[in-house]
Chain A
Amino acid sequence: MLPLDHPEDLRSMPDPSRHVIAVLLPDRVGILRDVTAGVVALGGNIEGIRQTVVDGFFSLVFTAAFPAGVTAETVRAALARRLDADASLTVRAYGARPRPPLAGGVRYVAMTRGPDRPGTIHAISAFFVEHGINIEDWQVESEGADTIYTAQVTLPPSVDFRRVQAAFRARLAPRGLSATIVHENIFRATNEIGPIKGLLHA
Chain B
Amino acid sequence: MLKRQDVLSTLRMVQEENLDVRTVTLGINLNACSQRNPEKLAQAVRDRIVAQARDLVRHCDDVAARYGLPIVNKRLAVSPVSVLLEGHAPATAVRLARALDRAAGEVRVDLIGGFSALVQKGVTPGERALIESLPRALSRTRRVCASLNVGTTRAGLNVDAVRLAAAQIRAAAEASRAERGFACAKLVVFANMPEDNPFMAGAMLGPGEPERVVNVGVSGPGVVKRAVDRLLRRDPAATLDELAEEIKHTAFRVTRTGELIGREVAERLGVPFGVVDLSLAPTPRVGDSVGEIYQSLGVRRLGAPGTTAAVMLLNDAVKKGGAFASSAVGGLSGAFIPVMEDRALSQAMADGTLTIEKLEAMTAVCSVGLDMILLPGDISEEALAGIILDEAAIGIANRKTTGVRVIPVPGARPGDRVDFGGLFGAGTVTRPACPEGAAAFVRRGGHIPAPIHSLTN
Contacts and interface: CB of A to CB of B under 8 A. Distances in A.
Interface string B148-189: 000000000000000000000000000000000000000000
Contact of A196 (B4, B10, B253, B256): B256
B8 A148 contact: yes
Contact of A180 (B15, B264, B267): B15
A184 B4 contact: no
Interface residues of B, number: 29
A23 interface: no
B285 to A, nearest CB: 20
A120 interface: no
Given A111-B15, A190-B253, A180 B260 contact: no
Interface in A144-189: 148, 150, 152, 161-162, 165, 178, 180-189
A109 interface: yes
Interface size class of A (residues with CB under 8 A): 20 to 34
Given A196-B256, A199-B260, A200-B264, A190 B13 contact: yes
Interface string B1-44: 11110111011011100000000000000000000000000000
B71 to A, nearest CB: 13
Contacts, number: 83
A182 B3 contact: no
Interface stretch (B62-70, B99-107, B118-126, B430-438): B62-70
B12 to A, nearest CB: 9
B259 interface: yes
Given A196-B259, A199-B260, A186 B4 contact: no
Which one of A139, A141, A183, A200 has the highest number of Cβ atoms from chain B below 10 Å of its Cβ?
A183
Nearest to B15: A180
B6 A190 contact: yes
A162 B65 contact: yes
Which one of A106, A165, A178, A187 has the highest number of Cβ atoms from chain B below 10 Å of its Cβ?
A187
A91 to B, nearest CB: 24
A137 B259 contact: no
A197 interface: yes
A191 interface: yes
Contacts of B68: 161, 165, 180-183, 186
B263 interface: yes
B11 A111 contact: yes
B139 interface: no
Contacts of A165: 68
A191 B8 contact: no
Interface in A77-123: 106, 109, 111, 113
Given A196-B326, A197-B263, A152 B66 contact: no
B79 interface: no
10 contacts: A139-B4, A150-B11, A161-B65, A180-B14, A183-B67, A184-B2, A187-B6, A187-B7, A191-B3, A196-B326
- Sort A-B residue pairs by CB-CB distance and give the 10 closest, nearest first: A191-B6, A190-B253, A189-B256, A189-B260, A183-B67, A196-B259, A162-B65, A180-B15, A111-B11, A190-B10
Interface of B: 1-4, 6-8, 10-11, 13-15, 65-69, 252-253, 256-257, 259-260, 263-264, 267, 324, 326-327
Given A180-B11, A183-B67, 18 more contacts: A106-B66, A150-B7, A152-B2, A161-B68, A162-B65, A165-B68, A180-B14, A182-B10, A183-B68, A185-B260, A186-B14, A187-B2, A187-B6, A187-B10, A188-B2, A189-B256, A189-B260, A190-B13
